[in-house]
């Protein structure tokens, strides 16, 4: 589940925190990186568990309404939603239940948020159309939950606040993790029953190694990378660059030099997008030009055995990233701004002590 996009985001955040923290300890910083990535996987499972909690709350409501109908001699409420085949399969999922048994956090502790979501679902057109429909197939049951998630859970500021209060690590994770929850919903197959596999924490060991190698290279070769930046910023005072710009370019250079199979243009595009999210409004264009110049210099001097198109096209307008940046406005500080203090506190622990939230 943890992909390269999420890894890059975490490394930007943790590298920024590393330099803001006076007590720099590489071992603890690497533990913090892996722990931060693990928390994203926790969020993935926690959001799947939210579907189960909503179903259970709706079941409770139906039972109350059914008992009232029996007493009053009125028509019993429909149980179509609580009998949703996808939700029932997810509720029985062995992997999800095993995960939740190991967690201290439970949606039962946030029933006000769950009930509010239930109210929003019941008032939605998606719910009304589903309840009035006659398609009782598994596919229809799975599709209604995909629609509910995309419409009422993925873009839900109230839920975002609840999750941020649960874990500061989740402040920036949800936008990426949401895509994996939706992917998981679409992957569910009734033939698999309770043994349906959820997405693994890492696709393979290569992605975990990518995270550690990129972070180490970024920190251990910082002087060289910053020298490349300084030499390429002829028309700009390097000392006046936004600190986040320096961090982002440093990581991008580390990726270009450490991973020969990743095309230069892919790396540049990824970090230009991150600059739009985490730095100043002008940073994307500036970083695009700087990284292009640095990459060409590294190729021409034989320090990097890669190729680049000539001339390099301008970085395309990325509406998705712009939307994410817009949604970020007015929110609480990102992890890149607040994690430095948290990392500093953790690094006061004994090195062998497990990193815990």
The secondary structure of 58-120 as a DSSP string is HHHHHHHHHHHHHHHT-PPPP-TTTT-HHHHHHHT-HHHHHHHHT-S--GGGGHHHHHHHHHH
Alpha-carbon dihedral angle through residues 328, 331, 335, 337, given to the nearest 10 degrees: 100
Length of the chain: 357
Distance of CA 336 to the CA centre of its chain: 14
Q: Which pTM value belongs to this model?
A: 0.84
* Matching residue, tokens 């409004």: 281
Q: Which of 88, 54, 61 is nearest to 76 (CA)?
A: 61
The C-alpha angle with vertex 226 and arms to 222 and 229, in degrees rounded to 5, equals: 150
The pLDDT tens digits along the chain (357 residues) read 899 999 999 999 999 989 987 768 899 999 999 999 999 999 999 999 999 999 999 999 999 999 999 999 999 999 999 999 999 999 999 999 999 999 888 999 999 999 999 999 999 999 999 999 999 999 999 999 999 999 999 999 999 999 999 888 887 899 999 999 999 999 999 999 999 999 999 988 899 999 999 999 999 999 999 999 988 876 666 667 788 999 999 999 999 999 999 999 999 999 999 998 888 888 898 899 999 999 999 999 999 999 998 654 555 555 555 555 545 444 444 444 544 445 445 444 444 444 444
| Homologous superfamily in CATH for domain 205-346 | NusB-like (1.10.940.10)
Alpha-carbon dihedral angle through residues 26, 242, 333, 171, given to the nearest 10 degrees: -60
End-to-end CA distance of the chain: 21
Sequential DSSP letters for 309-338:
-SSPPPPPP-HHHHHHHHHHTTSPPPHHHH
Q: So what's the pLDDT on residue 340? A: 46
Q: So what's the pLDDT on residue 281? A: 82
Domains in the chain: boundaries: 23-195, 205-346
Evaluate whether 299 touches 230 at the Cβ level (below 8 Å).
no
């Amino acid at each position: 589940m943890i992909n390269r996009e999420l890894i890059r985001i975490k490394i930007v955040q943790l590298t920024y925190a590393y330099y803001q923290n006076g007590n720099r300890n590489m071992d603890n910083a690497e533990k913090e990186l892996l722990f931060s990535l693990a928390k994203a996987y926790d969020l993935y499972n926690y959001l799947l568990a939210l579907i189960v909690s909503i179903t259970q709350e709706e079941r409770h409501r139906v039972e109350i309404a059914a008992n009232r109908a029996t007493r009053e001699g009125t028509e019993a409420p429909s149980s179509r939603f609580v009998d949703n085949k996808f939700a029932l399969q997810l509720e029985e999922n062995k992997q999800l239940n095993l995960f939740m048994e190991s967690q201290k956090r439970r949606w039962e502790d946030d029933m006000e948020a769950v009930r509010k979501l239930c109210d929003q679902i019941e008032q939605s057109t998606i719910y009304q159309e589903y309840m009035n429909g006659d398609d009782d197939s598994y596919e229809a049951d799975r599709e209604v939950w995909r629609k509910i998630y995309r419409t009422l859970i993925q873009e839900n500021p109230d839920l975002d606040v609840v999750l941020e209060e649960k874990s500061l690590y989740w402040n920036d994770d949800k936008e990426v993790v949401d895509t994996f929850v939706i992917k998981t919903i679409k992957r569910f197959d009734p033939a698999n029953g309770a043994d349906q596999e959820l997405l693994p924490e890492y696709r393979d060991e290569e992605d975990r190694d990518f995270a550690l190698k990129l972070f180490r290279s970024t920190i251990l070769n910082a002087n060289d990378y910053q020298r490349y930046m300084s030499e390429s910023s002829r028309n700009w005072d390097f000392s006046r660059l936004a600190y986040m710009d320096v961090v982002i370019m440093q990581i991008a250079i580390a990726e270009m030099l450490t991973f020969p199979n990743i095309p230069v243009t892919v790396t540049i595009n990824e970090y230009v997008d991150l600059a739009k999210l985490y730095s100043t409004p002008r940073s994307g264009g500036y970083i695009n030009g700087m990284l292009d110049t640095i990459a060409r210099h590294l190729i021409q001097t034989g320090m990097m055995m890669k190729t680049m198109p000539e001339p390099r096209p301008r970085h395309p307008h990325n509406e998705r990233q712009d939307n994410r940046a817009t949604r970020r406005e007015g929110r609480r500080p990102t992890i890149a701004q607040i994690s430095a203090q948290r990392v500093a506190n953790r690094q006061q622990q004994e090195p062998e002590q497990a990193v815990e939230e």
